[in-house]
Chains A and B, each alone.
Chain A
Amino acid sequence: MKRLSTITVFLLSFFISAHATCEEKTRAEILDKQRDEKSHHLVPEKMNIAQRLLLQFENGAGLNYKSFYPTYGAGSPGAGFMPGVRFWKPHAFGSPFDFQTSASYSTKSYELYQLQFGTILQKGPEPFVGFGGTGGLSTFRGTRKRRSNAFIYADLRYLNFPQEDFYGLGPDSQKADRTDYGLESSSFDGVFGYHFQKYMVVGLRAGFVQDNIFHGTDSRFPNIETKFSPIEAPGLIDQPNFIRVAASTFLDYRDNPGHPHSGGMYGFGYARFDDLDEDRFRFNRYTIDLRQYVSLGSVQRTIAARFLTILNKADQGSRIPFYLLDYLGGTESLRGFPEFRFRDNNLVYMSAEYRWEGTHAMEFAFFFDAGKVFHEIGDFSLDHLETSPGFGIRFKTPSSTMIRIDVAHSNESGLRYLIKFGASF
């Protein structure tokens, strides 16, 4: 009886099982069940913090807060790392003019403050790189036409650079004669310019410059006045105020100014400095800056060459203040030598680089720098140049060189390692 009951139970359960609760009989039911199961485990779709930050950056808001942007590397080459903040307001107060002001402070206590108002040249609200150093108005940076052909703006600047270096004037200055000084400068300029076509820009700058030399704060080196006299360093004792007028033009037909593979940029400048106080420091400055880029069968390989000469001609009986002279040595020229290494009234500098791209974002380069300073324009020659070979790696965006890591050599200094924002040229 018991056995019969067991068999009955078994058979009954078999038939029930065969017809029931093996739910999915069709493909559609299987998929339905999977969806039902998922519906019990739904989790809100969320971005991780990296995505959120990157998204903010991409939407233009990441690196700025209410029109304030970070800046970096804006001061003198001797400043060290110089972060800052910039306020940029295009079409300020509903006008067609832009307003921007910036403040930077470096690890070596360098300060730089700027204010510009007008139709400003710079590309837009991006971190600035490579503002000019202390050598006056001599270097060219490619500019882009923004909105209209003409540009006009007021440019006010104050800087305080407490650890500038001076080795003496002339090509025979000694490394051991390194001294230190501080420079304080205020300038008030009006700038006007015009873009002709796509490739040519003409600019005029006129303004007032007030400079002051003070004791340098770099305790590693003696102060300038302990080693050099006012004869050896004109302008050491008295720093006159200047009226400065400059005109420049440059042709720029590089295929991509921030990342050139072909084309050239030719800049010509003239500046007049008039001493307002003592008539002892009046001079003219002539600048020629020629850059050429040639692709060797492919944009992957580029030869870049630069020729730069800056000639200063003092009026009869005048001299040129040492702190307004351009220099060779540092991250921008004769890279195997320290910053400010060679100064004199005139300089000639050449550089050639063989650049090759691993990818459009990364480039390698062998380079060779050569140049010298000389006192009189009549001494211009290409003899007895100081030289500096080296190797570099550059990280780029499609429109600019972000970071450059160079290793350069000179007989005087051995190997030097440089990290710099911006292209070499």
Chain B
Amino acid sequence: MRKRSTRTEYTVITESKSNSVYSVNSVFKFLLCVLILQFFLCEISNAQKFYPDDPILVDHDRKNIPQPPDIEVSQIYDFSYNTFYKTRDKNRPPAANINTLGEVPDSTWFTNRLGVRSMTIEEFVRASNQVEGPDMSAPWQVLRGKTQGITPGCIIKDGRGDIYFVKFDPKDFPQLSTSAEVISTKFFYAFGYNVPENYLVTVNVKQFQLAPDASFRDVDGKKRKMKYRDLKSIFSRVSIAEDGTMQIVASRALPGKPIGPFLYTGTRSDDTNDIFPHEDRRELRGMRIFAEWLNHDDSRSINSYDTYVTENGNSFIRHYLIDFGSTLGSGSVAPQTHRAGNEYLIEWPPIFKASATFGIWDRPWRNVKYPYYEYLGRIEADYFQPELWKPEYPNPAFDRMRSADAFWAIRILLRVTDEMVRAGVEAGQIRSKDAQEYLIQTLMKRKQKIVQYYLSLLNPLDEFHINGRELTFRNLGESAGLGNPESYEYQWFVFNNDTGETKALGATEKAMTTTIPVPDATADFLMVRIQSLTDRQPNWRKNVDIYLRTNQLSSAYMPPGRDSHAAAWDIIGIERAE
């Protein structure tokens, strides 16, 4: 009996156990299936080319981060690293921070302005300035001064309590660097970069008074209490008119806590938001175009500025470009040298050539003639060759600029009108009208050369729009006078967003104008490949691929004000063969 009950018990236990084991097995299988399927489904979804929110217009790089430490950049180290080490890196991958249209989203680095909308002349000239300039109704309190470094300067507090960094012109060259600084600031602001509020002011030396706790950094680099003779020492090195007045740039202190410059390479290791290597940011690569135009040969880390700001409850880093005193014809303390913009400080091929030929071979740029204008320094447009322009020493972001990066910048540069050039130069208040006019004409010529060179490197189609059942575009190269394509070759494809595969929708067609029909297709994504045909510009045959998405899919992400029934398609991607 007992045995039977045991058997029964045993049986019951076994069955129970079996039942429990069976349950555990089921759960295990279930979880395993979930994991495996999740893996494959995720892989499929992550392989998709376009996401529902493409193209993104804003990169939300304002996550809250703890305050990072200040950093300084050694100029010698930066020069040596970029000249002798970084320059060996010949990789030029595509830009990392662009959206699917090849545009740069707004971020703490860059804000789309001229590139996406027109600017009035007033807005352009005002640029980043928020006030009318430093208050002149009371003497300025000099808080700090320095004579070390190549340019003397000081920090003042005006009657309103605002802090300004004051920069002067070198002794023998009135207006040289201050005018250049203000002019270039206007343009870099319009391009989209964060720049300081730079005010051009004519002021008497008597406006400066020492604050009781003013400090001074002497030629030894030592900080001590500032004395009146230190102020005299600063003024002895700067340009002052006979009546005691001088033109200065008063640069309003930027909001936030300064934490040092940014490098044009890598990312900041203590900044959560900094995920794109700086040399792969399109706005830094494309900055080369703007630097070429304005002859900003001093475009390096030391002339950048990061501040730790707090907005809407988040604290993060904002990135600025500063110090445009060495642009146009100015070399900050003297006119630009002949070498500026033409050769790096250390560049081996010309060094070897000149050395080996006992100096007989000479740099061609040495013979360039610059017209003399007292307030302008050295800048010209006749010898200028955009593809050969260089800053003082290699800039990793500039070195990585590809045709598509250049094209992005050229699009912005093309929107700088002659009126803007004139207004920008006039903002520099250069006393000589001849010098002013020369600078305006020079900038226009340089712009033309830059545009013509870079628009020859790839197929310069832009401004794509869907109008009803047609895709229209514009050939920027044609508008720039580079050539008239005989026709445009195009072919439509159905695009599989999940796999990236394309399937041709018909044969290659030809269009004689910049309008092509969108085919009837029941697909979520289409792609059209367009080539521009002209013998004058062989590179215009390079492909431009435009991706369209049916706007039924993207209704959840419809831009405000957009009529969801206006067109069947949205342009969500552009790729340019380089």
**A interface residues (Cβ-Cβ under 8 A, vs B):** 5-6, 9-10, 12-14, 16-18, 21-22, 24-28, 30-32, 34-36, 38-39, 42-45, 47, 50-52, 54-55, 57-61, 64, 67, 90-91, 124-125, 147, 297-301, 354-362, 364
Contact = CB atoms under 8 A, between A and B. Distances in A.
A99 to B, nearest CB: 14
B555 to A, nearest CB: 14
Nearest to A26: B53
Contact of B63 (A9, A39, A64): A39
Given A35-B275, A45-B269, A60 B45 contact: no
Contacts of A30: 51
A13 B74 contact: no
B110 to A, nearest CB: 15
A47 B71 contact: yes
A67 B220 contact: yes
A292 to B, nearest CB: 18
Contacts of A34: 275
Contacts of B77: 50-51, 54-55
B359 to A, nearest CB: 3
A32 B270 contact: no
Given A17-B38, A356-B358, A358-B352, A25 B52 contact: yes
Contacts of B221: 59-61
Question: Chain A interface mostly helix, strand, loop or mixed?
Answer: mixed
A412 to B, nearest CB: 28
Interface stretch (B29-37, B175-183, B436-444): B29-37
B354 A358 contact: yes
B145 to A, nearest CB: 14
B362 interface: yes
A132 B155 CA distance: 43
Nearest to B66: A42
Interface stretch (B54-62, B449-457, B563-571): B54-62
Contacts of B37: 13-14, 17-18
Contacts of A5: 26
A125 B219 contact: yes
Given A54-B76, A300-B362, A26 B220 contact: no
Contact of B359 (A25, A31, A35, A301): A301
Interface string B213-246: 0000111111000000100000010000000000
A55 B74 contact: yes
Interface string B4-48: 000000000000000000000010011101100110011001100
Given A27-B51, A42-B272, A357-B359, A300 B354 contact: yes
Contacts of B60: 28, 31-32
Given A51-B77, A91-B229, A61 B220 contact: yes
Contacts of B74: 47, 50-52, 54-55, 58
Interface in B321-365: 339, 345-347, 350-352, 354-355, 358-360, 362-363
Given A5-B26, A10-B33, A300-B362, A27 B56 contact: yes
B318 to A, nearest CB: 16
Nearest to B354: A358
A180 to B, nearest CB: 41
B219 A359 contact: no
Nearest to A38: B272
A232 B566 CA distance: 111
B97 to A, nearest CB: 9
Given A35-B63, A42-B270, A364-B355, A12 B30 contact: yes
B354 A357 contact: yes
Interface centre among B38, B42, B236, B367 (most CB of A within 10 A): B38
Interface in B512-531: none
A17 B346 contact: no
Contacts of B366: 298-300
A45 B363 contact: no
B68 interface: yes
A359 B53 contact: no
A227 B69 CA distance: 71
B56 A9 contact: no
Given A9-B29, A358-B352, A18 B269 contact: no
Given A22-B45, A51-B77, A59-B148, 16 more contacts: A13-B30, A13-B31, A17-B41, A24-B45, A25-B45, A25-B51, A26-B53, A35-B61, A42-B270, A42-B271, A44-B270, A54-B77, A60-B221, A298-B367, A356-B354, A356-B355
A365 B72 CA distance: 39
A51 B72 CA distance: 9
A236 B339 CA distance: 57
Contacts of B76: 54, 57-58
Contact of B41 (A18, A57, A297): A18
A354 B54 CA distance: 65
Given A25-B52, A47-B71, A60 B222 contact: yes
Contacts of B508: none
Nearest to B356: A358
A44 B71 CA distance: 10
Nearest to A126: B219
A14 B229 CA distance: 81
Contacts of A299: 366
B223 to A, nearest CB: 10
B387 to A, nearest CB: 22
B304 to A, nearest CB: 14
Given A124-B219, A356-B354, A16 B52 contact: no
A364 B274 CA distance: 47
Nearest to A297: B362
Interface in B190-228: 217-222
